[in-house]
Amino acid sequence: MSPHTTPTPASTVNADEIDLFELIQSLWQEKVLVVIMTAIFTVLALAYALLATPIYQTQATLVPPPAYAIQGYNEGRMEAFRNTGVKELTVGNVYGVFKTHLNSLQLRNRFFDEVYVPSLKGIAS
């Protein structure tokens, strides 16, 4: 007989293979621990979801209009005020007026009265 025997296929185990039956069996043996840990983390997640203060965040970016967008204003303005020394509007001029009106309390109050309050009446009825 030779001192070296060839291993049988049943005794060969490849180190990078996973035996699913063995894995399921070991999980089944620890089923109580798995259920307890699942319950604990579920309760913690639910508590956080219900007790955490919701944070709502939004962001708006205002950009100046492009030069071609104010070209029509300039053409009409220069035609109407020819020979009066009126200068053409620049992007900076138009954007400045826009920002001024955007921060206007009167404009905000008018929007509130004309748009927001009437929209609430439709909800209340």
Query: Tens of pLDDT along 44-101?
Result: 999 999 999 988 888 888 888 888 888 888 888 887 777 787 888 888 888 888 888 8
pTM flag (> 0.75): no
Q: How many CB atoms are located within 10 Å of the residue 70 CB? A: 19
C-alpha torsion 9→13→17→23, nearest 10: 100
The Cα 107–Cα 116 span in angstroms is 13
Q: With bands split at pLDDT 50, 70 and 90, how would you rate the model's confidence at 29?
A: very high
Q: Which of 74, 111, 112, 113 is nearest to 90 (CA)?
A: 74
Report residue 71 CA to chain centroid gap. 36
pLDDT higher than threshold 70 for residue 14: no
Element (H, E) at 45: helix 31-51
Top pLDDT among 6 and 117 is at 117
